[in-house]
Amino acid sequence: TIALLAGTVYFKLRSGSAKSIFYSFLDSVMFIPYTLRIGPFAAHDNGIERTCIDAMKRTGLNDFDDSGKFSFMKPYAMSHDFGYVRSKCFYSPMGFLVQKLSQQKRMEIRLLMVDYFKRHPSVETTTFSRPPTLITGFTRTGTTFLHELLSIHPETRAHNTWEQMNPVPTTDDESPLAQKQNRIERHKKGLWLFKFVDRVAGEISQAVHKVEYDKCEECTLPCSLELPWNITNLSFMMFAAEELFSLGAGRSFDLYLKFLKLQTWSAPDLPSHWVSQVFFLFIT
């Protein structure tokens, strides 16, 4: 008990005031398995190659829709390798695990989305009432406010947090009624995880802007299917910005359109003029 308390205090002080006590406690609990490299820390590797391998094992799929080149790995690897060294940071046990699992989740979604498009060709033919409106800019310049303001217009639509957490239908029934029911099921499925993560992360999860389960959220998930635009990669990206800009945005826009088509197709009763807040590298 004393060791756990001491560990909690240590990780809390080491990380600053933003990290919750609960998060620091979990760091303390996981310190021994992390150090001994057992359980979820056995491979002791949270890089993009390792997470892609684990994503393929978990889904049973292997097509990332990139002709087998795995070119999307390079920005992720560069962000991690350059950023981790230059930032001179260290992974706490929870930090290591969160980085791995969040990155793996994005790769799983990419695999599942590609597979769903292959099995349901009608999704690809989905059209929008108007081309998506993209909002971009540097941090703290009002992009989130503008995004939220435009999203409340009755003829526009913005993807909510829950739609990014579980964007791929889990039913093969293409009827509107079945898809509507499946959206309800996916909404319920992700709610407990959102509440858990919000509680564990504490104030830091709301530090940039308020994140709500049923409210619009910026393109964290769609962009991170190709780019390291992921909450656990953000700090690393700042230290590898020059190298990342030289790579461009890859297939980000194409994958984002697929994401929007899938959301439109699964909810045809909702507006299809999308308003999206995107990472500025996305349109360079």
- Express each pLDDT in 129-170 by its tens digit: 999 999 988 777 888 899 999 999 999 999 999 999 999 999
Q: Is the pLDDT of residue 281 over 70?
A: no
Q: Is the pLDDT of residue 198 over 70?
A: yes
Q: Is the pLDDT of residue 16 over 80?
A: no
Is the alpha carbon torsion for 257, 259, 263, 266 positive or negative? positive
Query: Mean pLDDT over residues 45-70, rounded?
Result: 91
Q: Report the C-alpha gap between 76 and 122 in whole angstroms.
A: 31
Q: Is the distance from CB of 109 to CB of 226 less than 8 angstroms?
A: no
What is residue 127's predicted lDDT score, i.e. its pLDDT?
96
Query: Mean pLDDT over residues 181-200, rounded?
Result: 92
> With bands split at pLDDT 50, 70 and 90, how would you rate the model's confidence at 208?
low
What is residue 42's predicted lDDT score, i.e. its pLDDT?
84
Spatial neighbors of 262 by CB under 8 A, at least 6 apart, are 113, 116, 117, 123, 126, 167, 168, 169
Of residues 73 and 120, which shows the higher confidence score? 120
Q: Report the C-alpha gap between 226 and 109 in whole angstroms.
A: 11
Which residues share a beta bridge with 160? 216
Of residues 113 and 14, which shows the higher confidence score? 113
Q: Is the pLDDT of residue 108 over 70?
A: yes
- The pLDDT tens digits of the residues spanning 210-256 come to 889 999 998 888 888 888 877 777 778 878 888 888 888 888 889 99
What is residue 122's predicted lDDT score, i.e. its pLDDT?
96
What is residue 271's predicted lDDT score, i.e. its pLDDT?
96
Is the alpha carbon torsion for 207, 212, 218, 224 positive or negative? positive
Q: Is the pLDDT of residue 274 over 70?
A: yes
Q: Report the C-alpha gap between 265 and 84 in whole angstroms.
A: 40
SS3 per residue for the chain: CHHHHHHHHHHHHHHCCCCCHHHHHHHHHHHHHHHHCCHHHCCCCCCHHHHHHHHHHHHCCCCCCCCCCCCCHHHHHHHHHHHHHHHCCCCCHHHHHHHHHHHHHHHHHHHHHHHHHHHCHHHCCCCCCCCCEEECCCCCCCHHHHHHHHHCCCCCECCEHHHHHCCCCCCCCCCHHHHHHHHHHHHHHHHHHHHHHHHHHHHHHHCCCCCCCCCECCCHHHHHCCCCCCCCCHHHHHHCHHHHHHHCCCCHHHHHHHHHHHHHHHCCCCCCCEEEECCHHHHC
Count the Cβ atoms, other than its own, within 10 Å of residue 121. Answer: 8
What is residue 262's predicted lDDT score, i.e. its pLDDT?
98
Q: Is the pLDDT of residue 72 over 60?
A: yes
Its pTM stands at 0.92
> With bands split at pLDDT 50, 70 and 90, how would you rate the model's confidence at 105?
very high
What is residue 64's predicted lDDT score, i.e. its pLDDT?
95
Spatial neighbors of 106 by CB under 8 A, at least 6 apart, are 221, 224, 225, 230
Q: Quick one: which of 264, 5, 235 has its CA closest to 159?
A: 264
Q: Report the C-alpha gap between 245 and 243 in whole angstroms.
A: 6
Of residues 261 and 92, which shows the higher confidence score? 261
Q: Is the pLDDT of residue 69 over 60?
A: yes
Query: Mean pLDDT over residues 255-262, rounded?
Result: 95
Minimum mean pLDDT among 7-21, 40-54, 67-81, 194-208: which range?
7-21
Query: Mean pLDDT over residues 180-204, rounded?
Result: 89
**φ/ψ of residue 157, rounded to 5:** -145, 140
Query: Mean pLDDT over residues 40-51, rounded?
Result: 86
